[in-house]
Amino acid sequence: MDFQKNLDRLTEWANTWQLSVSINKCCIMRVASRHRLDDVLLRQFVLCNTVLNYVDLINNLGILVDSHLTFEAHIDYIVQKAARRIYITFK
């Protein structure tokens, strides 16, 4: 079964149970190595009559995850947050 069909089934299920889908929290992230990511075609996917955006970085339960699964952005964020707290402490 293809991904768009699953999104359509999710839309039908949400409508059947009268549930709303928070579209502003939905996106698509392609996960691949640095070399293979450029070769992948971008296909449009629709959820609840809305085209989903492609992103390279997501925040999932407080963890920043990038499309290469390197966690560099998350580590940078944590280091910056710690530096701000240290600065405030010793100010």
pLDDT at residue 89 in the model: 87
Residue 20 has which token pair?
A: 């709303």
Position with higher pLDDT, 90 vs 22: 22
Tell me if 65 sits within 8 A of 71, measured CB to CB: yes
Provide the residue ranges of all domains of the chain, joining segments of one domain with +.
1-55, 56-91
Q: What is the pLDDT of residue 81?
A: 92
**26-72: pLDDT as tens digits:** 999 988 776 665 655 678 999 999 999 999 999 999 999 998 888 89
Contact 68, 33 (CB under 8 A): yes
Q: Is the sign of the CA dihedral 15, 17, 21, 26 positive or negative?
A: negative
